[in-house]
Structure 1
Amino acid sequence: MAMGSLLFRSLSLLVAAVAISCAFSSLGVSPFEWLRASKDNGFQISHPQIYTLSDDPLVVYVKDFISTQEAAHLVQLANGRFTPSSIWDNDGKSHIDKAYRLSMTAKLDRSDEIIKKIEERAISFPFYKLVGDFMPIVVQNYGISGQYRDHYDWFDDAQAVGGNIASTFFVYIHANCTGGGTNFARLTPPDDDSWCEFIDCDRPFDEGITFKPILGNAIYWENLQEDDAGHKMTLHAGMPVTTGNKMGMNMWTWKIA
């Protein structure tokens, strides 16, 4: 992939009783680090770093969004809850098509204290737009050959379903696999080799961007344009897992129509 320089962006956020530090990274952007206590109720706390990949649509990569302990807790919560994943039509109806989407889905209890803290952390990010509430948190489990072909997270007819998914956090909570990247076919790869830490730079340039499955890291993107129409540049896919297992957590913000 041909690489050059990436636009430097500086982010700032004021959080009560929390010291904040902005540090420059080799990616040429400003990672935003939370300096928190190392433990919270016995759980190790992550120190997220933010990298802006795209402004239109807004796509942000968050390194260390959750800690290893938090990820393990989410995996444990999901165990025993998995059912075959559905595909949602624009009229809000669901059906199962394993040729198009092969995975298992578990819905988690939002009353869990760790999930509450993760939601609070997500809302605190400077890029996040609080235009609605998080939908029930779900975990996607992809075994060998598991995938989800090209799709959008938004609905064509928001009126038919009473709203739309304004934004998405996708968090890797288990990544003991090969393959299984998250591909955005219509996004342009960045002009900076440092992004190869997170992006599969060996894939052809015309295939867009494929994020590597990395435990604890997250991708955030806005699904809707200013007029609330779905943004077609957010077309994405969960690439087939070739060995091992991948699990990801979805945090969708629902905006009422």
Structure 2
Amino acid sequence: MAVFCLLVILISCSLAADEFYSSIGRMTELLYTEQQLLASLNDYIQAEENKLETVKRWSESLANLSSFAIKNPERFLSHPVNAFKFLKRMNREWRDLEGLVRSNVSDGFVSNFNSRSEHLPNDDDLTGVAEALVRLQDTYQLDTDTMAKGKLPGTSLLLSNLTVEDCYDVGIAAYRDNDFYHTELWMAQALRQLEQGETPENVDAGILLDYHSFVLYKQGDLKSALVSTKRLLEIDPENERANQNLKYFEEHLAKQQTGEETLKKGRAPYNNVYERLCRGNSMEMTPLRQSLLSCRYHDNHGHPNLLIAPFKEEELWDQPRIVRYYDIVSEEDMAIYKALAQPRLMRSKVRDGKTEKSYPVRTRVSQNAWLKDRDHERVGRMVRRIGEITGLDMSTAEDLQVANYGVGGQYEPHVDFQRFSVNESVEPYAHLGTGNRIATWLLYISDVQAGGATVFPNVGAIAWPIKGSAVFWYNLLPDGQGNYETQHAACPVLVGSKWVANKWLHERGQEFRRRCGLQSST
């Protein structure tokens, strides 16, 4: 049926000005938009119910899901399968529905839709959320069947399964990225679900086997590619490309077996230190080092504002020293930070230290907003609290950055300081004029059901998101050089909506608070 057409929409849909997949918070707005569109659609159905029976059935099936989701938008959208299907629905099915309605007297619905169409997800959103599923699959070593059934750790919200067409779309996203390893996995999953009795409308076994055999060949698995090609020819004996591939695969497979050709090896699953840490496999400390870590009440050497109410401090790591402070802010404070940031969220970017320009990159999937101390009394109070706890001057710190991570949201390994050589005359963060980032304060303002840890690949440390707690470390060594052991990453969010607030403190003003030294180490 036209309502569910998956292919035409890829060509015909208009581009939206907004990006949604990189922020769960932004995606929640779409649920309300969908509710408004649904109401308009129901009005139209009532006017021409006898002509729009197909549209009515689609609307009724969507109404139950949408009304459930709207009760707790973040919880619903924090499940990546729900997010994928939701963005796909908003990107494709509503636009296809518009085409169906235009063939009738549908001024009310079309007008309502057009007023919102510029603020619907575009194809980049759909590609981004499909790539996120692949990223989660790799990072957390999840098989395609687990992903397709939505059986993810940390959640019991299993409202959505990926259909054959969904699996095909994820595979196509990987294929367009020349990721033949994951293309094969998702095409194979689609084929399995097809064999189990699913009846997709726009994808058939021939299309799946065509892609499946080709990507197996691209990975060097001619034997399996030959099997898929033979299955395709059983369905479509006259398929010209499949018949040509059959001869080609048989010829080259014979050469491999006789040793005339070398077998190409396909891509193996990526499994580096960063991903292992994301799964919770931290590096073990020696018993002596572990015994020296401690928890205490921290009053910053008798700071008058902390004497009566010191903060709980936990040492997470010794070299570099990484500490966590608990119960830094209240629930009300965190709600205020989110409310202030929500309407200002924009795609997070990475700054090029040489050109001083910022760009969105695939290695950083989130949206952020900047809050000034004067934006709200609670923001200024928290900034003063950071100064009291760390003993550092906050007057040269950057504004508070509030970030929300999207589906599979992440920030791959990076350092917070600006790299430079001692022989360079360029000052770090010259546009600020406050020196390099001497320290980082990372405040978690939400819990995360699964994934989303902050990890330090060069040393093996892990800090899990704990709402209301903050993690603190120095980025620079005492002599002012960058400490590359502080390289860190935000692991992909598997289930949940991760919100953080970052405060980067700079060198200027710290001369008598954290004295520099001639030696690199403390």
Q: CA RMSD in A?
A: 2.3
Q: Which has the higher contact order (CA 8 A, sep 6+)?
A: 1
Report SS of the residue matched to 2:303.
Answer: coil
Report SS of the residue matched to 1:114.
Answer: helix
What is the CA deviation profile of residues 80-127 of structure 1, one whole-angstrom value per residue up to 9, with x for unaligned ones?
Answer: 010000012222321111x211100111132121111111111111x4
Match of 1:182 in 2: 454
- For the 8 Å contact 1:53–1:60, the answer to whether it is kept is yes
- Which residue identity is paired with 1:102? V
Shift in Å, 1:254: 2.0
Match of 1:148 in 2: 411
CA distance in 2, matches of 1:155, 1:17: 33
Q: What are the equivalent positions in structure 2 for 1:84-163 lying under 5 Å apart?
A: 84-91=347-354, 92-97=356-361, 99-111=362-374, 112-125=376-389, 127-130=390-393, 133-157=396-420, 159-162=427-430, 163=435
Match of 2:463 in 1: 211
What is the CA deviation profile of residues 123-178 of structure 1, one whole-angstrom value per residue up to 9, with x for unaligned ones?
Answer: 111x4433862211111110221100000000013615322111010000122431
**Structure label with greater radius of gyration:** 2
CA distance in 1, matches of 2:449, 2:396: 32
**Structure 1 residues 210 and 58: alpha-carbon distance in aligned structure 2, compared to 1, 3 A threshold:** closer
Match of 2:492 in 1: 240
Which 5+ residue runs of structure 1 have no aligned equivalent? 21-32, 35-47, 188-207
- For the 8 Å contact 2:428–2:436, the answer to whether it is kept is no
User: For this pair of structures, how many residues does the alignment match?
Assistant: 210
Shift in Å, 1:185: 1.1
Report SS of the residue matched to 2:316.
Answer: strand
Instruction: Name the stretch that deviates more: 76-85 or 2-11.
Output: 2-11
Match of 1:6 in 2: 291
Report SS of the residue matched to 1:175.
Answer: coil
Q: 1:76 aligns with which of 331, 336, 339?
A: 339
Task: Identify the structure with the greater strand proportion.
Answer: 1
Task: Identify the structure with the greater helix proportion.
Answer: 2
- Which residue identity is paired with 1:159? E
Which 5+ residue runs of structure 2 have no aligned equivalent? 1-281, 421-425, 510-522
Match of 2:440 in 1: 168
Shift in Å, 1:215: 0.6
TM-score between both structures, scaled by the size of structure 1: 0.74
Instruction: Name the stretch that deviates more: 69-78 or 232-241.
Output: 69-78
- Which residue identity is paired with 1:70? D
- For the 8 Å contact 1:131–1:255, the answer to whether it is kept is no
Q: What are the equivalent positions in structure 2 for 1:24-39 lying under 5 Å apart?
A: 34=310
CA distance in 1, matches of 2:292, 2:504: 28
Report SS of the residue matched to 2:332.
Answer: helix
TM-score between both structures, scaled by the size of structure 2: 0.38
**Structure 1 residues 160 and 153: alpha-carbon distance in aligned structure 2, compared to 1, 3 A threshold:** closer
Match of 2:323 in 1: 60
Shift in Å, 1:55: 4.4
CA distance in 2, matches of 1:141, 1:63: 21
Report SS of the residue matched to 1:101.
Answer: coil
CA distance in 2, matches of 1:245, 1:138: 16
- Identity across the alignment (%): 29
Shift in Å, 1:182: 0.5
